Structure 1
Amino acid sequence: MNDWRNVDYLRHGAVVQKEVYNLLTELDIMNLLTDYNPLLVGTIPLGIQVEGSDLDIICEVHDPVKFKALVVRYFGAMEGFVSESRVIQGIPRTKVNFMAKGWLIELFGQPRQTELQNGYLHMIVEAEILAQMDDGFRERIILLKINGWKTEPAFAKALGLEGDPYEAMLELEKLPWSALHALCHSVQAREQV
């Protein structure tokens, strides 16, 4: 598995991943946000991005005012800069969006370790599923995304999961890897019939 904490793995990836690595390096965003334990999550690290993908960076934010002040200081002049904070299900959340070199960047913060946030947990299980499945599965996910599906609903559909796709993917993340491997094997076997 990748060292997700360090975006260096992007340097050795596909052309788009290298482009993202260069952008993140140029903006120095991961270093500027280091006190917030930033993690790049989503389609770019997984290599399943499509046209219009954004860069999702999750952060551990306990003081939204301080976080927003830092972000405004370094990125407030960027095109399309907007930020909002609100409380959802009792958890304060801060979201900041801006454009940089044609990329929409979304910073998302909540008072929870980044490795415990849903965006990271979804990415971890999706990476494991992609590692277990054949290229046809990856292509199906990309095709669903091209047709407007978000990542978690695309995985849930391709795996035949029912209910809320975001919750279903979190449930998969809780499974032992052997059970996840068995699920992937049964999905592939079903597709070959």
Structure 2
Amino acid sequence: MVQEDRYKFHSIHYLKSGNKRQQQAYGAITKLGIMADLQMYNPILCGTIPIGIDISTSDLDIVMEVYDFTEYELQVRKLYSEKKGFALQRKEIRGVPVIKANFVFADFEFELFAQPQPVEQQNAYLHMLIEHVLLEGNPAMREEVIKLKQQGIKTEPAFAQLLHLKGDPYEALLSIAKENICYRLFDHERKG
């Protein structure tokens, strides 16, 4: 993966020329106007749809950098609380506070995921980059990952299973990336 390739994920424009589902996602995101409405939080679409390993139940994960959860929650409620299935929760994941909102729009489930750190340092973004590099290096893995996901296995555990990684699959993916050259492309982002 060339250095410029990873920056394509900082905008959703690549979806316009992607597969059918990516084009539909582009339409839904654009119609909702979410990237513009929440631009102050540096939103980046992460997950399986950007890298083409989604299944029918995959959602649109929009990851953001948020420090003032109260202000952010007010804005998200104002913009999306009337959307089907709207739910919002605050919790901690691996010791980091998180605010998460879910709703349905244009036949897509949206998940807004915010933490008080730059998106480029958040695991969802790093996992997506790592998975993208792995798929670029081994295109046959794409169908194997999708098949495992269709059997109910989540994305990172599917990659861990195919790569024979032990332990926590989320941490294992980050660990193998550190050991391989692909990680050097975005290592500075992880360090902050």
TM-score (norm 1): 0.89
Does the 8 Å CA contact 2:130/2:182 hold for their aligned counterparts?
no
Aligned AA (1:114): V
Does the 8 Å CA contact 1:121/1:173 hold for their aligned counterparts?
no
Cα deviation for residue 28 of structure 1 reads 0.6
User: How far apart, in 1, do the equivalents of 2:120 and 2:151 lie?
Assistant: 30
Q: Does 1:157 align with 2:161?
A: yes
Q: Does 1:122 align with 2:116?
A: no
Does the 8 Å CA contact 1:57/1:107 hold for their aligned counterparts?
yes
User: How far apart, in 1, do the equivalents of 2:128 and 2:163 lie?
Assistant: 15
Aligned AA (2:161): K
Cα deviation for residue 90 of structure 1 reads 3.8
Does the 8 Å CA contact 1:125/1:172 hold for their aligned counterparts?
no
Any unmatched runs of 5+ in structure 1?
A: 181-193
Any unmatched runs of 5+ in structure 2?
A: 185-192
1:18 corresponds to: 23
2:189 corresponds to: none
1:111 corresponds to: 116
Q: Does 1:177 align with 2:167?
A: no
Does the 8 Å CA contact 2:177/2:183 hold for their aligned counterparts?
no
Aligned residues: 179
Q: Does 1:81 align with 2:86?
A: yes
Please give the residue correspondences for 1:1-193 in structure 2 after superposition, counting only pairs within 5 Å: 1-2=5-6, 3-135=8-140, 137-177=141-181
TM-score (norm 2): 0.89
User: How far apart, in 2, do the equivalents of 1:63 and 1:45 lie?
Assistant: 28
Give runs of ≥4 in structure 1 deviating > 3 Å.
87-90
Does the 8 Å CA contact 2:149/2:158 hold for their aligned counterparts?
yes
Does the 8 Å CA contact 1:79/1:98 hold for their aligned counterparts?
yes
2:190 corresponds to: none
User: How far apart, in 2, do the equivalents of 1:78 and 1:42 lie?
Assistant: 22
2:188 corresponds to: none
